Structure 1
Amino acid sequence: MSTAIDDKLVCVTGGSGYIGSHLVSLLLSRGYTVHATVKDLKDEKETKHLEALQGAQSSLRLFQIDLLDYDSIVPAISGTFGVFHLASPCIVDQVHHPEKQLLDPAIKGTNNVLRAAKEAGVKRVVVTSSVSAITPSPNWPPHLVKGEDCWTDIDYCKQNGLWYPLSKTLAEKAAWEFAKENDLDVVVVHPGTVMGPVLPPTLNASMLMILRLLQGCTDTYQDFFMGSVHVKDVALAHLLVYENKSAAGRHLCVEAISHYGDFAAKVAELFPEYNLPRLLFAKRYTARTVEDQGCSTKVDGFRHAVHTMDQIVKDSVESLKSKGFLS
């Protein structure tokens, strides 16, 4: 194996996804050469928007991988200095086969990516977890703020069929275990509900939620708090924890925590022309969690860069309109 590794050559798994596309774009703008992974190189819905990014022609190479196939991952990571592992399924609707749809790709996929990174001599891996690996945590002491030291309750998720939070929690735990056992430099980012401009031709779960709300969806969520965050802030958080050599551990990445009802009210306030339904809640809860501090204060300099909730909502709706999802 060559000892001369270009420190500006990185791999982004899940590069065609919502966060991944913005991260690839940011990396290219900062002079990085990027290996971005997709599920299917023949699917233009995964490739075309990446190939159109500024700098892509000279500094972007696409790789097709299967998270459950270790050998398919190796070429994408080989020769890279750093890895951003974003690829993981996100399903918020009903899950019929949790092992196949969520758990195996998240957990085994993370192990395969980290194993390939270790074998390739990668210097740092940034793993994208989620606020869903921090909460739900019903047994957390009510007087303590939920932050990076809090973990989602695995048993609670299993008992209530919360497969996505379970997948993110178990995948992150697997990442930390691998890092410890194999002396691999791993740092983790925990985005909340990610919204903002859309680059891919398809919508992620968070943007689908706001689209459905604008289209008149009347679903109510009694005990649902959102850690909303702008997608560009999430991409920047990944780059900051990668480049900051002292960054370690877990990094919460949210603008603020708000109840879903308050979020819906904000959307209605900013876009009254859509006549959003007035959502009623049988019971209101008080969130005690990290609030109004943007990304974790451990990410130096990031606090002042975050977009406000008004900006997040406006950028999301304007992008949905410009992309033809809304009239």
Structure 2
Amino acid sequence: MSGEGKVVCVTGASGYIASWLVKLLLDRGYTVHATVRSLDDPKKTEHLLDFDGAKERLSLFEANLTEDGSFDSAVNGCVCLFHTASPVIFSADDPKAQLIDPAVKGTLNVLKSAAKVESLKRVVLTSSVAAVMYGVKLPESGGVVDETWFSDPVICEQEEWWYQVSKTLAEDAAVIFSKENGLDLVVINPGYVIGPLLQPTLNETSERFLNYIEKGKEIFPDGINILVDVRDTVIAHILALEKPEANGRYCMVGDVVRSSEIIMILDKLYPDHGYSLRCKDKCVEALPYSVSKAKVESLGVEFTPLKVSLKDTIESLKEKKFMNL
């Protein structure tokens, strides 16, 4: 197993992406230091402790993004830090306190702990396409968005896209700090993440997706969905550690699809559930842009077909009794 004898740290380990990351790292033989906000909350810890290999190779640490030095003990002795911990909130009463400070100051806090560890060779940061393609003029008629694109935090702030502001500023802060402190930083920028859930709670992105497939509430106002499977996203993180040539940022988007196309796939998967009514009078228009897969595929990422991701998402939501399809 590729991770045998290697110790890595995963922050925000009870989250949607991070839970899969802990599981697949354990599957590959890594020893994992996983941070959670509270060791006393079974909803944050029990599913992690049930993973294969957890008994032998998983240690849980309590850590808080806003507390200086909170991550020191978790990163000690690690060869890689996976920093996934960041608030995912799409509407905030106090965006600075709820989103921006935890994202930016929290990222710097974690990286300060990492910079103290001599054995730590690489940092893999979970960013988002929110830091890539918002507040900028998107291409039209078949144009391609790639890793050279950066969201404009000033415009995002004017539009009150606070999540996008938090991810953009946090990524910028991480890049600057890493350069100044000799950390080898690789950034993963996933699209809207779908796929099966491991954690017992309904995360924000899965809840919004659930509202879309059950109630028709659009996730994105223009009906263009920038989707990626959670398992593919996690494989990208692990390859970002395992491939020495990994560098810079990686757009992680499996499919850019219109809402009507998703509904047509769901109608074929679940013909008895009335999705055809939402397909009525809808044609799939050409998409104005795509997101490049070239760089992340060069790492070795293979994308899950959208139909599989959609079916696995729904079956997982049903299994966990979050939906009654």
TM-score, normalization: structure 1? Answer: 0.90
CA separation of 1:246 and 1:7: change in aligned 2, threshold 3 A: farther
Aligned residue for 1:313, secondary structure, equals: helix
The two structures, once aligned, show a CA RMSD in angstroms of: 2.2
* Counterpart-to-counterpart distance in 2, 1:309 and 1:190: 18
* Counterpart-to-counterpart distance in 1, 2:218 and 2:191: 20
Alignment match, 1:27:
25
Alignment match, 1:315:
312
Q: Deviations 1:39-87 (Å, cap 9, x if unpaired)?
A: 1110011001001101101100001111011221111111111100000
Query: Which deviates more from structure 2 when the two are superposed, residues 223-232 or residues 30-39?
Result: 223-232
Mapped contact 1:255–1:294 kept (Cα < 8 A): no
Query: Which deviates more from structure 2 when the two are superposed, residues 132-141 or residues 70-79?
Result: 132-141
Amino acid at match of 2:49: E
Query: Which deviates more from structure 2 when the two are superposed, residues 16-25 or residues 213-222?
Result: 213-222
- Runs of at least 5 residues in structure 2 that lack an aligned partner in the other structure: none
The Cα of 1:259 is off from its aligned counterpart by 2.4
CA separation of 1:219 and 1:82: change in aligned 2, threshold 3 A: closer
* Counterpart-to-counterpart distance in 1, 2:164 and 2:285: 22
Alignment match, 1:80:
78
Aligned residue for 2:187, secondary structure, equals: strand
* Counterpart-to-counterpart distance in 2, 1:235 and 1:220: 22
The Cα of 1:156 is off from its aligned counterpart by 1.6
* Counterpart-to-counterpart distance in 2, 1:107 and 1:85: 12
Amino acid at match of 1:97: D
Aligned residue for 1:151, secondary structure, equals: coil
Mapped contact 2:212–2:219 kept (Cα < 8 A): no
* Counterpart-to-counterpart distance in 2, 1:285 and 1:69: 48
* Counterpart-to-counterpart distance in 2, 1:75 and 1:217: 45
Superposition map of 1:50-89 within 5 A: 50-89=48-87
Alignment match, 2:43:
45
Amino acid at match of 2:31: T
Alignment match, 2:290:
289
Alignment match, 1:231:
230
Superposition map of 1:163-312 within 5 A: 163-219=162-218, 221-276=220-275, 278=278, 286-290=287-291, 293=293, 296-299=296-299, 301-302=300-301, 305-312=302-309
* Counterpart-to-counterpart distance in 2, 1:156 and 1:262: 30
CA separation of 1:58 and 1:221: change in aligned 2, threshold 3 A: closer
Mapped contact 1:16–1:200 kept (Cα < 8 A): yes
Mapped contact 1:10–1:35 kept (Cα < 8 A): yes
Mapped contact 1:253–1:295 kept (Cα < 8 A): no
Mapped contact 1:103–1:167 kept (Cα < 8 A): yes
CA separation of 1:58 and 1:7: change in aligned 2, threshold 3 A: closer
Alignment match, 2:100:
103
Q: Deviations 1:165-193 (Å, cap 9, x if unpaired)?
A: 11101100001101111111000001111
Identity of aligned residues (%): 41
CA separation of 1:257 and 1:288: change in aligned 2, threshold 3 A: same
Mapped contact 2:192–2:225 kept (Cα < 8 A): yes
TM-score, normalization: structure 2? Answer: 0.91
* Counterpart-to-counterpart distance in 1, 2:127 and 2:62: 22
Aligned residue for 2:60, secondary structure, equals: strand
Aligned residue for 1:145, secondary structure, equals: strand
Mapped contact 1:255–1:295 kept (Cα < 8 A): no
* Counterpart-to-counterpart distance in 1, 2:219 and 2:57: 45
